[in-house]
Amino acid sequence: MTACKHEHEHKTPEQLLATARQVCDEQGRRFTKLREHVFNLIARSTGPVKAYDLLDQLRPEFGSPKPPTVYRALDFLSGLGLIHRVEALNAYIACDHSQGRHIAEFFICETCENLEERSANDHIDCVPDGFDIRRSVIEHYGICKNCAA
Partner DNA sequence: CTAAAATATAGTACACTATAACACTATACT
Partner DNA sequence: AGTATAGTGTTATAGTGTACTATATTTTAG
Which residues make up the interface to a copy of itself (CB under 8 A)? 1-5, 87-88, 105, 107, 109-110, 116, 118, 121-145, 148
The candidate with the shortest Cα–Cα distance to 106, out of 76, 96, 72, is 96
Q: Which of 22, 90, 111, 146 binds DNA (CB under 7 A)?
A: 90
CA 145, CA 127: separation in Å to the nearest integer?
32
> Which amino acid is located at 72 in the chain?
R
* Residue 94 near residue 16, CB atoms below 8 Å: yes
Q: Which of 13, 34, 113, 114 binds DNA (CB under 7 A)?
A: 34
CA 11, 16, 19, 24 torsion-angle sign: positive
What does 18 interact with, of a copy of itself, DNA, none (CB < 5 to 8 A by kind)? none
Q: Which of 8, 22, 25, 30 binds DNA (CB under 7 A)?
A: 30
Q: Enumerate binding residues for DNA (CB under 7 A).
A: 28-30, 32-35, 50-52, 62-69, 71-73, 76, 90
